[in-house]
Amino acid sequence: MTRGFSFSLPVMVVVSAIAFVYFCTVFVFTDRWFGLMTSPGIMNAVAYTAVSVMCVLNYVFAIFMDPGRVPSTFLPDIEDSKVPIHEIKRKGGDLRYCQKCSHFKPPRAHHCRVCKICVLRMDHHCTWINNCVGHANYKVLLVGSLTNDSQNDKQQSADSFRILYVISGLLLVPLSMALSGLLGWHIYLILQNKTTIEYHEGVRATWLEERAGNAYKHPYDLGAYDNLTTVLGSNIICWICPTSKHIGNGLRFRTAYDGLPVTSTSK
């Protein structure tokens, strides 16, 4: 399912930055280092273009793909023995219900105040894609590459090219650092089978369990490999593809308590 697109300044900034870096890398840097009409130049331009196209496609998917919304007809079946966990409200002990959307919320779903919908396995709302990151669009990989293998160290004489080098550096260095940190953070979350929201909820839950003398275990933690395949799929070849056929309907998730009596967790 796709969603409509409304104007977003952060998205325009990202698109402009991608276009600027691509233009400079291919038509300025590669041309000056190798020459676009030479074999090394063509190979570098084609390789960089392929990576850039993959990045842009993933970014477009992240923007337009519906994050996964809770069906209006969803009703929790508390008598279903195949569902070992039912999330309940912290106060009152009732099943989680969204007053704004007027329906029950399945496990790991949360209401987004920006998108104004309940999102399945919601991670967070991302300003830079003007969309929620949730069950249906979480598997999006951002890949960037910048190779500098200049074969000569000729003095750059044109001020315009010096300015392009400086601007590109000012864009790429902080972006590379930020995206590397974000990638590392989400690799950690994937290996724990947590969303960003569940991580922060888990900090409080751990503190409460430790006060009670118990050890807290994230109910959806199936082990590193199973956690990885739950998000990316069992076929390693498809890990880099922005597909979501393997993820199910988002209303029920495997837990560490599958096969055990039905219990409840507070949310």
Phi, psi (deg, nearest 5) at residue 262: -65, 135
DSSP characters over 176-215: HHHHHHHHHHHHHHHHHT--HHHHHHHHHHHHHHHHTT--
Q: Confidence class of residue 165 from pLDDT cuts 50, 70 and 90?
A: confident
154 pLDDT more than 60: no
Active-site choice (101, 126, 238, 241): 126
Residue scoring higher pLDDT (56 or 79): 56
CA-CA distance, 204 to 210, in Å (whole number)? 10
Would residue 206 count as lying in a domain?
A: yes
pLDDT in the model for residue 159: 53
Residue 119, pLDDT above cutoff 70: yes
Q: How many domains does the chain have?
A: 1
Whether 126 is catalytic is yes
60 — pLDDT class (breaks 50, 70, 90): confident
CA distance 226 to 232: 10
Q: What is the mean pLDDT of residues 37-56?
A: 89
C-alpha to C-alpha distances, 44 to 3, 21, 22, 220, nearest whole angstrom: 35, 15, 12, 43
Q: Residue 72 in contact with residue 82, Cβ under 8 Å?
A: no
| Site of tokens 């967790």 | 265
**37: pLDDT strictly greater than 60:** yes
258 occurs within a structural domain: no
Instruction: Choose between 93 and 153: higher pLDDT.
Output: 93
Q: Is residue 183 part of a domain?
A: yes
Domain membership of residue 194 as a residue range: 9-148+157-238
**Does 142 fall in a domain?**
yes
Question: Is 110 a domain residue?
Answer: yes
Query: Is residue 259 one of the residues assigned to a domain?
Result: no
Is pLDDT at 155 greater than 80 in this prediction? no
